């Protein structure tokens, strides 16, 4: 009997601990349901016609991986632009989500965005990209590309911005300045206003830029851009610049 009495306080303590843990778990469930403990990070998704902007106060960024599918973009030494565009865009999207930004990607696979039966697949493709941005409401539109030129000596990172929105230049300069500061090896060239020949920038009224991440025709740029570690560094800096502008 004496041993039993000695064990009783232990059982009582265990029982009380169980009750406390049960109450705590129940309260956590209620709080999570209310979203108080949730990080509420937005999902990264490809565009479909049914996609609508997330109804939150978070900024929206449309990330456009240039080219895709039948359109490989520029190529050099067996390296195709379309794959690098997509790889970098995915990294940028991952980092933007950490900055609590809603991300819509125009493509998440190696596909062209032209409509079936289009007389000009290239024109239909860029029209689809513009449509995605317009249907997103008032996003920041960032198109990712690689450059090329017949003369091998040309290299460097450059941003082109839309003339239709005064904030587009600010976004371009934010990206340019941060890349120039954090990644001097990218050899930044001055940002420029895009002409009507850059279809996606010419047709959008939102903040819109097109980034040429480097020249695949240049050996030094190509080695950097095909390096996974460099891609992640570049993506992080681009994402940070976009987030700064988005919340300004």
Is the pLDDT confidence value at 128 over 90?
yes
Is the pLDDT confidence value at 217 over 80?
yes
- 82 touches 144 (CB < 8 A): no
246/244 Cα distance (integer angstroms): 6
pLDDT over 90 percentage in the chain: 77
DSSP the chain: -HHHHHHHHHHHHHHHHHHHHHHHHHHHHHHHHHTSS---PPPEEE--TT----SSSS-EEEEEE--BTTB---EETTEEHHHHHHHHHHHHHHHHHHTT-EEEES-SSS---PPTT-S-HHHHHHHHHHHHHHHTSS-EEEEEEEE--SSTT----EEEE-SS-HHHHHHHHHHHHHHHHH-GGG-PPPPEE--TTSHHHHT--SEEEEEEEEETTSHHHHHHHT-HHHHHHHHHHHHHHHHHHHT-
- Per-residue pLDDT band at 57 (split at 50, 70, 90): confident
For residue 11, give every residue at least 6 positions away whose Cβ sits within 8 Å of its Cβ, in sequence order, or none: none
148/73 Cα distance (integer angstroms): 10
- 151 touches 221 (CB < 8 A): no
Task: Match 């039993």 to its residue by tokens.
Answer: 4
Mean pLDDT of all residues belonging to the chain: 85
Q: Which residue has the higher pLDDT, 210 or 24?
A: 210
Length of the chain: 248
Is the pLDDT confidence value at 21 over 70?
no
Mean pLDDT of 203-220: 98
pLDDT one-digit tens code per residue, 140-191? 999 999 999 999 999 999 999 999 999 999 999 999 999 999 999 999 999 9
pLDDT one-digit tens code per residue, 194-205? 999 999 999 999
pLDDT one-digit tens code per residue, 85-117? 999 999 999 999 999 999 999 999 999 999 999
pTM here is 0.78
Choose the weakest-confidence range: 33-37, 79-83, 142-146, 173-177: 33-37
């Amino acid at each position: 009997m004496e041993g039993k009495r000695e064990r009783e306080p232990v059982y009582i303590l265990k029982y009380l601990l169980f009750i406390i843990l049960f109450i705590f778990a129940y309260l956590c469930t209620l709080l999570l349901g209310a979203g108080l403990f949730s990080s509420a990070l937005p999902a990264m998704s490809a565009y479909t016609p049914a996609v609508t902007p997330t109804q939150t106060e978070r900024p929206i960024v449309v990330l456009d991986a240039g080219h895709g599918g039948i359109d490989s973009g520029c190529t050099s030494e067996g390296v195709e632009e379309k794959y690098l565009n997509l790889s970098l865009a995915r990294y940028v999207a991952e980092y933007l989500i950490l900055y609590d930004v809603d991300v819509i990607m125009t493509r998440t696979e190696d596909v062209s965005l032209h409509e079936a039966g289009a007389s000009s697949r290239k024109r239909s493709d860029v029209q689809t990209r513009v449509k995605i941005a317009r249907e997103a409401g008032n996003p920041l539109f960032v198109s990712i590309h690689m450059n090329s030129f017949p003369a091998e000596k040309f290299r460097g990172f450059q941003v082109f911005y839309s003339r239709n929105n005064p904030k587009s230049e600010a976004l371009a300069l934010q990206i340019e300045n941060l890349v120039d500061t954090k990644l001097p090896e990218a050899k930044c060239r001055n940002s420029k206003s895009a002409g009507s020949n850059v279809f996606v920038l010419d047709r959008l009224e939102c903040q819109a830029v097109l980034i040429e991440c480097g020249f695949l025709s240049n050996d030094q740029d190509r080695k950097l851009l095909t390096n996974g570690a460099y891609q992640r560094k570049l993506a992080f800096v681009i994402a940070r610049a976009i987030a700064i502008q988005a919340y300004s």
